[in-house]
Chains A and B, each alone.
Chain A
Amino acid sequence: MNENVLAKLKVLAESAKYDVSCSSSGTVRRNQSGTLGNTVGGWGICHSFAEDGRCISLLKIMLTNYCIYDCAYCINRRSNDIPRATLSVSELVNLTIEFYRRNYIEGLFLSSGVVRNPDYTMERLVKVAKDLRLIHQFNGYIHLKSIPGASRELVNEAGLYADRLSVNIEIPKEENLKLLAPEKDHQSVYQPMRYIQQGVLTNKEDRKKFRHVPRFVPAGQSTQMIVGATAESDKDILYLSSSLYRHPTMKRVYYSGYISVNTYDKRLPTLKQPPLVRENRLYQADWLLRFYQFKVEEIVDDSYLDLDLEIDPKLSWALRHPELFPIDINRAEYEMILRIPGIGVKSARQIVASRRYSRLGFYELKKIGVVMKKAQYFITCNELPTRTVNELTPAGVRKMLAPKPKKKTDERQLIFHFSDDQ
């Protein structure tokens, strides 16, 4: 390790940073006694937060940012004149271990540009993971980004050492992908996804028969779509997500607001700033799919192609369905409580638990953490009836809850946790 690595680290972190997935969740990998590392409780720890507010959980870095491809949306495309660097396998292993020992990180998230050919590159990625696990007995988290077009053998080997594998779709519609990344097609993305899926299924069977078969990508796979580089609607994006989530190994779909890194490329729109509000709405819709028992066609459809940027998708759904409200907090099923704007998963659970003792009113709901500003129009509780969405009309409620047009807010500075304020 020396100063040389410092320069490379800088270049390769800069090149890797546009990949948004950071989560190190999904595995419990116990410490084998006396060795280094574990992954805890099935969720990852954020060890730091960059000044853009994103969680730093893994050392997110590229093996190399040289690339033989020329994808229009990528900063590392071969026609870009940027500093290039390559880390050796041992340098990467060393960095990971030493960062981990200092509690800087949960583990490694490794991707790479394509050098020579997909398999040559994939082999190196696999080697890093293998050395970490077998030579250094490292039990921390490893996420490898599978190289599009890599062979089944290598994907299978990667799965033995990685907690999670991902293959990025990047562009939801194939014709648009081909336009921007002529060397890629959906086949090169979906094929490795299928390898991973099959690997997990075979592994499940094997583990039933032989107890000591190691687990294959225990944290499953994830993918990413770029939002706003091409003309896809939110419906296109969310329908694709929802069909991906039908595969049991697909754990997360990430959405990445397009950042104009290659402004000179006329195939791409020039955006002054990345579409962060839209990206956030997509994440909220994604949460509705995964945790709020919504079906995708309830969130977007042919007459409602794009999500409302001013209000969140759950509120927007509720305003389109005033006939279902108000909901009686003290009686309704958990599933319906979940659908009330202003009530998150945690609050919904607490409501169902607490109402067995006594009837709940405004005061208790507020204490539990319900965002009454929103919820009040959609519920009845222990109090006298108030004016709900039915008396005030959806348009009236919308007017009260949508951000006031006068107040100038910097839309890049929205702070959203997708937790309790849905």
Chain B
Amino acid sequence: MTLFIYDHTFEGLLTCVFDAYFRKTFPSQLLTEGEPLPLFYDEIVRIATDEKKARRVWRGLGKKISKHALSSLIYCWLSELPQVDEMLFRYIRKAIDATRSIETNFADPDVLGLSKIYKKVDGERIHLMQFVRFQKAIDGTFFAAVEPQFNALPLAIDHFTDRFADQRWLIYDIKRQYGYYYDLKETEEVTFEDPHQAHLVTGMLNESLMDHDEKLFQTLWKTYFKSICIKERLNSKKHKQDMPVRYWKYLTEKQ
């Protein structure tokens, strides 16, 4: 039983694939540095992440599966689920060894499993596009806080850059303490030296930091949200199913 220990980055994972083929030994488990070791094993291999190796694996993989399948692997990685790296490893290995693309072979547990994870992460990306709520700050920046289940913000960012091209904005992932800022020219990943500022913790702008019409528009939206509901059709089960409670925290209309 061989164990690979790597730095738990996507490049690192691809390097694992490269080295495995090179050594002709395939790990039965992938571990991150510092993780407890299992009781029994034969060999430990420490993998040093190497961008060149990673790129070669990625390019080789591109010849075996479609662009969509390729990008869905990144989605799965961003799920941050335990053991998703091992599934990805097995998938990549099968894809490389197969003579034709394995991506639609849903009878294979890894293909099916990853396709399900992809759907979940993609769902989270869509949830972000749906449920991000901006508050206008006094300096004109539009601020939104999110706390996605999976690390899906990078996947949704192009959408926001395209849509809100004439306003400055910041979307901040409170759980992972980083965000994206658009300055009317480009969008950049940002972190803050002091992540304990109130709005980076609560996700809500303090009234003193709000644009002077912000409160009014929040009230207008809340009023609209209430008025548009047809009482005769109340259906809170569907309401909660389509807008899961875990998003309510930052939804203006649910405050």
A and B form one complex: yes
Other-chain residue from B106, B130, B134, B251 in contact with A354 (beta carbon distance below 8 A)? B106
User: Is the beta-carbon distance between B106 and A364 smaller than 8 angstroms?
Assistant: yes
Q: A90 — which chain B residues lie within 8 A by C-beta? A: none
Q: Smallest CB-CB separation from B112: which chain A residue?
A: A367
The reply to whether A49 and B105 contact each other, CB–CB distance below 8 Å, is no
Chain B nearest Cβ from A22, distance in angstroms = 10
Cα distance A49–B225 in the bound complex, in angstroms: 9
Which positions 101-116 of chain A face chain B at CB distance < 8 Å?
101-104
A contact residues around B112 at 8 Å (CB): 367
Choice from A6, A14, A50, A103 contacting B219 with Cβ under 8 Å = A6
Q: How far is the CA of A102 from the CA of B132 in the complex (A)?
A: 8
The stretch among A52-60, A142-150, A235-243 that forms the contact with chain B is: A52-60
Chain B residues with CB below 8 A from A354, complex form: 104-107
Is A52 in contact with B230, judged by CB distance below 8 angstroms? yes
Task: Tell me the residues in window 205-222 of chain B with beta carbons closer than 8 Å to chain A beta carbons.
Answer: 213, 216-217, 219-221
Q: B166: CB under 8 A from chain A?
A: yes
B162 at the interface (CB under 8 A from A): yes
> Among A47, A99, A101, which residue has its beta carbon within 8 angstroms of that of B131?
A47
Binds B, one of A37-45, A163-171, A203-211, A308-316: A37-45
A49 to B131, CA, bound (A): 10
Q: Which residues of A contact B223 (CB under 8 A)?
A: 6, 9-10, 13
Query: Is there contact, CB below 8 Å, between B220 and A9?
Result: yes
Say yes or no for A358: interface residue by CB 8 A criterion.
yes
Nearest opposing residue in chain B for A13, CB measure = B227
Proximity bits, B125-154, A CB within 8 Å = 1, else 0: 010011111111000001010000000000
- Count chain A residues whose beta carbon lies closer than 8 angstroms to a beta carbon of B: 61
Report A-chain residues with C-beta under 8 Å of the C-beta of B105: 354, 357-358
Interface check B255, CB cutoff 8 A: no
Contacting residue for B144 out of A37, A53, A98, A103, CB 8 A: A103
**Interchain CB contact under 8 A, A412 and B230:** no
The answer on a CB contact under 8 Å between A13 and B224 is yes
Shortest beta-carbon distance from B170 to chain A in Å: 13
B165: chain A residues at CB < 8 Å are 31, 33-36
A367, B111: Cα distance in complex, Å: 11
Q: Tell me whether B86 is interfacial, beta carbon within 8 Å.
A: no
B106 and A55 contacting across the interface, CB-CB below 8 Å: no
Does B233 sit at the interface, judged by CB under 8 A?
Answer: yes
> Does the CB pair B221–A51 fall under 8 Å?
no
Q: Other than the known A36-B166, A46-B242, A47-B130, what 12 A-B pairs have Cβ atoms closer than 8 Å?
A: A9-B220, A14-B227, A34-B184, A45-B130, A46-B130, A47-B131, A50-B228, A50-B229, A50-B239, A102-B217, A103-B164, A274-B233
Q: Can you show 11 pairs from A to B with CB atoms below 8 A apart?
A: A2-B216, A36-B163, A36-B167, A38-B162, A50-B230, A51-B229, A59-B224, A104-B253, A274-B233, A358-B107, A364-B107
